């Protein structure tokens, strides 16, 4: 079994200058392909169950899927709760076997975010697993605007919560379908100057590839969350499979044809972090 915690995979990433892919899953087809891609590249992978995924499939089922894949994998696999908003939800994820909890209090006042994230970190660490927190709000394309991370607040947040990884808002945006204008490198440098906690970029799909590669090597960014570009690749593969034969109705037969394209798309993402 190669199940790992977030700290297990991010600590060496921080020391050696690379990042680990936090790949946002929606179902069996993509999570299986993501592990296959990580094995092909011989690197760890973080399987992430976000709010949309959890609306579709209950947490206990997702945990069993993640753990089954980890048991068969030749590389470390992290079972990560992405954007947990409630203590009870984080507790349930821990009880189901998740090995990493991401608590998102980024919309809340600083002290409330610190207090609630610290409680989740204590919960996680008491069970021997990891915790990621978020300071500064990462907005959504065509949705809520971002609120950039203040470096001095990041220092206090990291120190008082005891988190294993810190998600920051530095020009990144969730659900961005096209390459954005890039991350604010001066803000990243200012944050890195006051804390050595591994940094996380949500909305990694919008980060230009060259910048993604360079910052993984040169900064404390140790994890990029990537979902949108992989969902787009899955959608394209699924449409092609459906349109190839209008008489087919067996969804297993159709979905099987998405596997190889998603493996290749995930491998391309992973290669931008090494």
* Strand, helix or coil for residue 223: strand
φ, ψ at 172 (rounded to 5°): -80, 150
The pair of structure tokens assigned to 114 is 């610190």
Task: Please give the Cα distance from 96 to 27 (Å, whole number).
Answer: 17
82 tagged catalytic: yes
Give the model's pLDDT for residue 175.
76
Q: Is 112 helix (H, G, I), strand (E, B) or coil?
A: helix
Give the CA count within 13 Å in the CB-facing half-sphere of 85. 6
* Average pLDDT rounded to a whole number, residues 125-153: 91
Q: Which CATH class is domain 3-271?
A: alpha beta
Pick the catalytic residue from 8, 30, 82, 104: 82
Report helix, strand or coil for 121: helix
Higher per-residue confidence, 174 vs 23: 23
Give the model confidence (pLDDT) of 241-274 as tens digits. 999 988 899 999 999 999 999 999 999 999 999 8
On whether the CB atoms of residues 77 and 4 are closer than 8 A, the answer is yes
Report d(CA 184, CA 82) in Å as an integer. 23
Nearest to 73 by CA among 46, 112, 38, 41: 38
- What rounded mean pLDDT belongs to the chain? 95
Structure tokens at 167: 């998600």
> pTM score > 0.85 for this model?
yes
pLDDT digits (tens, 9 = 90+) for 167-192: 999 989 887 777 778 899 999 999 99
């Amino acid at each position: 079994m190669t199940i790992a915690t977030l700290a297990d995979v991010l600590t060496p990433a921080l020391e050696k200058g690379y990042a680990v892919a936090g790949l946002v899953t929606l179902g069996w087809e993509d999570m299986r392909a993501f592990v296959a891609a990580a094995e092909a590249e011989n690197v760890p992978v973080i399987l992430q169950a976000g709010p949309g995924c959890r609306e579709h499939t209950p947490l206990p089922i997702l945990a069993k899927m993640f753990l089954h894949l980890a048991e068969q994998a030749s590389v470390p696999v992290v079972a990560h709760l992405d954007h947990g908003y409630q203590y009870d939800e984080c507790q349930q994820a821990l009880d189901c076997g998740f090995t990493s909890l991401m608590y998102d209090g980024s919309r809340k006042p600083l002290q409330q975010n610190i207090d609630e994230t610290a409680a989740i970190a204590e919960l996680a660490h008491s069970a021997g697993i990891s915790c990621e927190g978020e300071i500064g709000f990462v907005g959504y394309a065509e949705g809520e605007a971002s609120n950039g991370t203040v470096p001095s607040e990041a220092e206090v947040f990291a120190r008082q919560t005891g988190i294993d990884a810190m998600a920051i808002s530095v020009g990144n945006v969730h659900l961005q379908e096209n390459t954005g204008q890039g991350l604010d490198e001066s803000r990243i440098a200012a944050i890195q100057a006051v804390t050595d906690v591994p940094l996380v970029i949500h909305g990694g799909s919008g980060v230009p590839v060259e910048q993604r590669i360079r910052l993984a090597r040169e900064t404390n960014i140790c994890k990029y969350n990537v979902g949108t570009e992989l969902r787009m690749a899955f959608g394209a593969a699924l449409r092609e499979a459906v349109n190839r034969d209008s008489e087919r109705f067996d969804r297993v037969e159709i979905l099987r044809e998405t596997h190889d394209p998603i493996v290749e798309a995930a491998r391309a993402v992973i290669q931008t972090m090494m």
